[in-house]
């Protein structure tokens, strides 16, 4: 069962792995149909992500980060401009679910909204029409 408005699935999730056991450093797009990851960019992107997040250096220290991006037109096709509201609601729900799962695994995380959108788009090589909306660094609490 799809849970997004009009089954539009506007969200795209990217895992930026740096220090994740069994996963080479890089950016990975989550494929919900396969419940798997596809590497999109090679290398440790966390320092560049921290710079794009207005030099919040602590982001580079997290072993991994999830970037939630969206393709708003998937929702606005059916709902017009109102679809933008639904996209933002879904980002909040997805972020909350990721943080709840992180907590269940003994990890910590937070949502970061302060970043240069264009810099994150370039870093992750996002396709046209896809926009980053949230960054969730995840790691072991200190």
Sequence-separated (6 or more) residues with CB below 8 Å from residue 50: 56, 57, 58, 59, 60
State pLDDT tens for residues 91-120: 999 999 999 999 999 999 999 999 999 999
Under DSSP, is residue 31 helix (H, G, I), strand (E, B) or coil? Answer: strand
Confidence (pTM):
0.91
Instruction: Give the residue numbers spanning the domain of 43.
Output: 5-139
Residues 6+ positions from 28 with CB-CB distance below 8 Å:
14, 15, 16, 17, 37, 38, 39, 40
pLDDT of residue 142: 79
Whole-number pLDDT of residue 5: 45
CATH of residue 126's domain is 3.40.109.10
Total domains in the fold of the chain: 1
Structure tokens at 17: 């792995």
Cα separation, 87 vs 105, in Å, equals: 27
Tell me what pLDDT residue 63 has.
96
Task: Average the pLDDT over 66-90 and give the result.
Answer: 92
């Amino acid at each position: 069962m799809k849970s997004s408005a009009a089954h539009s699935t506007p969200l795209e999730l990217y895992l930026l792995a740096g220090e994740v056991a069994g996963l080479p450093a890089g950016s990975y797009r989550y494929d919900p149909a396969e419940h798997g990851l596809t590497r999109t960019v090679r290398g440790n992107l966390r320092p560049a992500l921290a710079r794009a997040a207005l030099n919040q250096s602590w982001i580079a220290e997290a072993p991994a980060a999830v970037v939630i991006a969206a393709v708003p037109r998937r929702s606005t096709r059916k709902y017009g401009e109102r679809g933008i509201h639904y996209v933002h609601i879904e980002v909040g729900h997805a972020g909350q679910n990721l943080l709840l799962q992180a907590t269940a695994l003994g990890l910590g995380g937070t949502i970061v909204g302060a970043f240069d959108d264009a810099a994150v788009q370039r870093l992750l090589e996002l396709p046209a029409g896809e926009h980053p909306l949230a960054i969730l660094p995840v790691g072991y609490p200190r």
